[in-house]
Amino acid sequence: MMKKSIIQNTVLVILLVSGLTACNDSWDDHYGVKETLNPTETLWDAISSRSELSEFANLLSRTDYKDLFQQDRYFTVWAPSNGFGYSEDNDSLLQAEFVENHVADFSHVASGTLTDNQIKMINGKYIFFNGANGSYTFKGHPLTSKNIATKNGILHIITGYANFTSNLWENLAKIDSLSEVNSFLKSFNKEYFDKNNSVAGPIINGQQTYLDSVVIENNEWFGRIGYLAREDSSYIMIAPTNKAWREQFEIARQYYKYPSTKADGDSLQDLNAKRAICNHLVFSKAVNHLKAEDNSDILSQLSIHNGDSLISNYNYRGGSWRNTTIFYEKKNQELSKLFENKIGEYELSNGSMYVVDKLNYSPLKCWHDTITLEGENQFNISVQYASPDNVVISRDSTALRKRIPSGAYCVFNPSSGTSNPKITATLNNVLSAPYLIKIVFVPANLIDKSVDPLYPNVITIQLQYKDANGKSQTATLASKVENDPTKIDTMVVSAAGIKGNPTDYFRFPVNEYNLENGEEAMTKLVITGQVTSRQKDKDRTIRIDKIFLEPIDADAYDKEHANDNEEGNE
């Protein structure tokens, strides 16, 4: 489609120029232009021959556009007249941020009334080209001459020049104090040659050449947190300084420790820690419904559910709220804290950047997630000496659905009258971090209220995990404990009995986050029934809603429970 458009526009321009050569009065009547037309003159000829554009021509000669303006590709150029006062030693920046900020594909004439008329420039920026009654401006700069027709484009002459406005992606590279986050994100850059949108040239020695090669830059973080290089998007970005980055990195990397036996463990630890930092740096202005007023106070611009809050772009897909991280102001001032250490603010072409000297992200909020395994999960739960039976709660049972959010649970029926179920649950993406280990048991009369009497299970719970050296370890968390059969019972499995672990929570020595191909999760919770033949008042059938690891802040937990043992001793 792009190639077809180029051909169509080129043909129209040839016809236009030919027609104007024959009847210049029609051009004058329609466009109000008094320029002499020369169908053999190129854009480069028109620019280089005009003394008032000598400074612009000198800059062009350092770029690809001296040649491009002599070829068949059709452009519109807004050329600054002498005295505009721009200088740039870097030729690449000169081309991308100055020349291509004044050049657009195809024909854009100053004619009629142009209101809110945005033109996409070669560098992807959108610039307003507006006016009426013969008076026009380009990004606010008046045109002194307009609609100068050449055989490969239209030339306008303006006073001053159009300032380049960076987008978020570009601005990261322009601030020295952001070099670490910029370097990490840009390390994922990949470039692709866009054959369809490139302008084909002659075939030389049997090979297709191109007058203009279009290269597309892609990066996996665009799909992960936002298309920060797109000009038609609008975001809020929190950009950590190198100081803030290093501080948060030291916190995050502790959650991604690998066994000493893993060859690339150190590099994977660093990679995962840096990813954790970057996941929640970007928020969409569209998704977060920012108000129109131009105000640097973020809280005054927000107007979404549950009071002031920001929805992270990470895991937000197509309007889905599942697994999305939301920073609420009313919850411990989470939102205000994101901007608390702001040292700089930039209004850019596709959003706002807030530079902060400290990242007030809580691991519990941003990467230390709850790991949940539903009892009815047939892939991560294996069973011995029993047969599993999934029970689905009717959608009409709204009260039960609130108590069992997944809408189902599993009944593990013993395979014989003397059997005890053995349930092995594999837990994925465990971090080297502290968790409370919990099991949610379901009573036998949850649906059928006539079931009576209700007897408890007797179970032993063991945890299998890797130690710091990568060796498999098995720890007994609870031995022959009983659940409460009269309610939906969330049992907190104490880890206090494990050697070297005096607390209720368990701190995993190594992580199993995003296992690589061929690796299997070693973290397993084994639940084994322990009912004996003499225990007639115990239930061999085990009913489980879910198993989950609840992340905790160990320091806060220890402080909160510091007096538990003393009270128990009394």
CA distance 399 to 407: 11
Give the pLDDT mean for 185-213: 83
Locate 140 and state its tokens.
């606010």
Rg, C-alpha atoms of the chain: 33
pLDDT at residue number 335: 86
Number of H helices, E strands in the chain: 17, 27
- The answer to whether the Cα torsion of 325, 330, 331, 333 is positive or negative is positive
- CATH numbers and ranges of domains, the chain: 2-158 (2.30.180.10), 168-366 (no CATH), 371-569 (2.60.120.200)
pLDDT at 165 over 90: yes
Residues in the chain: 570
pLDDT at 7 over 70: no
pLDDT at 440 over 50: yes
| Cβ–Cβ < 8 Å for 162, 139 | yes
pLDDT at residue number 163: 95
440: nearest Cα among 390, 492, 370: 492
Q: Which position has the higher pLDDT, 555 or 100?
A: 100
Provide the pLDDT confidence category of residue 226 given band limits of 50, 70 and 90.
very high
pLDDT at residue number 11: 33
pLDDT at residue number 293: 52
Give the pLDDT mean for 19-38: 40
544: nearest Cα among 405, 453, 439, 444: 439
Provide the pLDDT confidence category of residue 317 given band limits of 50, 70 and 90.
low
CA distance 459 to 482: 7
Cβ neighbors of 459 (< 8 A, separation 6 or more) are 478, 480, 481, 482, 483, 527, 528, 529, 530, 542
Which pLDDT tens digit goes with each residue over 232-247?
889 999 999 999 999 9
Provide the pLDDT confidence category of residue 297 given band limits of 50, 70 and 90.
low
- Which segments of 427-563 does DSSP mark as H helices, in order? 554-560
CA distance 348 to 237: 11
pLDDT at residue number 305: 44
Q: Which helix (H) or strand (E) holds 549?
A: strand 542-551
pLDDT at residue number 384: 97
| Cβ–Cβ < 8 Å for 316, 287 | yes
Where are any strands of DSSP class E within 455-530? 458-466, 472-482, 489-493, 506-507, 524-529
Give the pLDDT mean for 486-492: 96
Give the pLDDT mean for 449-478: 95
% of residues, the chain, pLDDT over 90: 70
- Which segments of 261-366 does DSSP mark as H helices, in order? 265-278, 298-301, 334-338, 363-366
CA distance 226 to 229: 9
CA distance 395 to 384: 31
Give the pLDDT mean for 77-105: 96
| Cβ–Cβ < 8 Å for 300, 315 | no
Which pLDDT tens digit goes with each residue over 319-350?
555 578 888 888 788 888 999 899 999 999 99
pLDDT at residue number 498: 77
| Cβ–Cβ < 8 Å for 47, 79 | yes
% of residues, the chain, pLDDT over 70: 87
pLDDT at residue number 298: 62
pLDDT at residue number 307: 53
Q: Which helix (H) or strand (E) holds 352?
A: strand 351-356
Locate 209 and state its tokens.
């050449």
Provide the pLDDT confidence category of residue 558 given band limits of 50, 70 and 90.
confident
Q: Which position has the higher pLDDT, 24 or 258?
A: 258
Side chain identity at 410, as an amino acid letter? Answer: C
| Residue carrying the six token digits 């505009």 | 84
